[in-house]
Amino acid sequence: MDTTSLLNHLLDQGKIALEPASFLYQVPSPLPEDWDFGRVEGMLLGLAIGDALGNTTESLLPAYRKHTYGEIRDYLPNRYANGRPVGLPSDDSQMAFWTLEQLLEDNRLVPDHLARKFSQQQIFGIGNTVRAFLRSYKDQGLPWEQSGQPTAGNGALMRIAPVLIPHLRRPSPALWADAALAGMITHNDRASNACCVAYIHLLWECLRLKQAPEPSWWVDTFVTTARELEGNTSYTSRNPALSYEGPLWQFVDQEVRLAIKQNWSTLEACERWYSGAYLLETMPCVLYILVRHGDNPEEAIARAVNDTKDNDTIAAIVGAAVGALHGRAGLPARWVSNLLGRTTADDDWHIFELIESAKQTFWQADPPLTSD
């Protein structure tokens, strides 16, 4: 079954936490004629760079991190690479590049194959939700569509970017289906599924843009899509001072616009929302960093790394967007050249090989005929 029919089936049966919104049937706008694959290289490398710059100080409070390390703008010495200051992966880039591996193996998204791939190798810095997914899928043997957890963590959003790659040549609504299905494998939650589809839409538009957009574009683009897809939900902020209860899209809409109006620094805004792995924290932080620094990839990634708590994941998500917008050439060369390119403990250079294969398979080669 193709992924569009599969999504419809799951929506009909109420097995995916997502509103059956008309957006899911819209055809994505085509890429411009002079479009260059360097944008996708930038998206994937930006994700890996953000993860690698952040994962050595993950979960520290920004003030403590700053006190201990100063402003981080390069890879820290890494004990998994004999103390060399090089970029290594954690769960964010591991799972993103394993997704790309699955797409290359099957020429398209096959959710069960992706679920299997997630359960085959050691995941560094694994989150609670992915651990619970593995218990269901691997230990209890439940099918992939029953193994996603109903939690609003950022662990699906962090790895979603590669699903757009098979769609570059002939964009269709299957792009949104792939985002929803790939996301729900681990996190089957309305906020997470809506964020995955809305962010894939945002990344797709970043690939198409000729120049950095107006600051408000980031919020507008995310919110118009997410509000349709999320439906009626009730999430609360963990900051008692905010006492918010309602859908994620509305929190983002109110709060990021308020931050723009008040001209808060990214640190001030992220401290207000908190900046952990909860999507009600991650999502406004990501968007506000893009609002303030979307025109400057180095500064955007540096703010995510330094000003947030779940910094590797937030920097990976921000990195994918600024990479898609500015392309590989727009990323600082030292961050690219000092990235080891691993997805496991010792597969140096693997992500660069995957990126090259993706270019040949999904962009340079004639598009394969669909069989379904």
Binding site for Mg ion (CB under 5 A): 90-92, 125, 312
Q: Which lies closer to Mg ion via its Cβ, residue 54 or residue 294?
A: 54
Least distance to Mg ion from the beta carbon of 262, Å?
A: 30
* Least distance CB 298 / Mg ion (angstroms): 21
Q: How far is the CB of 304 from Mg ion (least distance, A)?
A: 13
Scanning the chain, the segments in alpha helix (DSSP H) are 3-12, 38-54, 62-69, 91-106, 111-118, 128-134, 174-184, 190-208, 215-230, 248-262, 266-273, 279-293, 297-307, 311-326, 333-337, 350-359
Nearest to 175 by CA among 27, 306, 333: 27
Structure tokens at 307: 């000003």
Cα separations in angstroms, 343 against 62, 262, 354: 27, 41, 11
Q: d(Cα 285, Cα 367) in Å, to the nearest integer?
A: 37
> How many CB atoms are closer than 10 A to CB 140?
10
CB of 58: closest distance to Mg ion in angstroms? Answer: 6
Shortest Å, Cβ 59 to Mg ion: 9
- Is the CB of 125 or the CB of 246 nearer to Mg ion? 125
- Is residue 349 left, alpha or beta, with left meaning phi > 0 and alpha meaning psi from -120 to 50? left
Residue 56 vs 149, nearer CB to Mg ion: 56
Toward Mg ion, which CB reaches closer, 228 or 307? 307
The torsion angles phi and psi of 149, rounded to 5 degrees, stand at: -95, 145
* Minimum distance from residue 11 beta carbon to Mg ion (Å): 31
The closest alpha carbon to 305, from 287, 289, 326, 284, belongs to 289
Give 19 or 91: the residue with its C-beta nearer to Mg ion. Answer: 91
| CA atoms of 179 and 164, how far apart (whole Å) | 8
The nearest distance, CB 61 to Mg ion, in angstroms, is 17
Nearer residue to Mg ion within complex by CB, 125 or 332: 125
Nearer to Mg ion, 16 or 156 (CB): 156
Cβ distance 194 to 218 under 8 Å? Answer: no
Coil vs helix vs strand at 161: helix
Per-position b or e across 282-320, b if 16+ CB within 10 A of its CB: bbbbbbbbbbbbbeebbbbbbbbbbbbbbbbbbbbbbbb
Going by C-alpha positions, the residue among 226, 154, 141, 222 that lies closest to residue 186 is: 154
Residue whose CB is less far from Mg ion, 75 or 249: 75
CB–CB of 38/359 below 8 Å?
no
Cα–Cα distance measured from residue 357 to residue 352, given in angstroms and rounded to the nearest whole number? 9
Q: Point out the residue whose Cβ comes nearest to Mg ion.
A: 90
Least distance to Mg ion, CB of residue 169, Å: 31
Cβ distance to Mg ion smaller for residue 56 or 221 = 56
Residue 11 phi, psi dihedral angles, 5° rounding: -65, -45
CB of 127 to Mg ion, least distance (A): 8
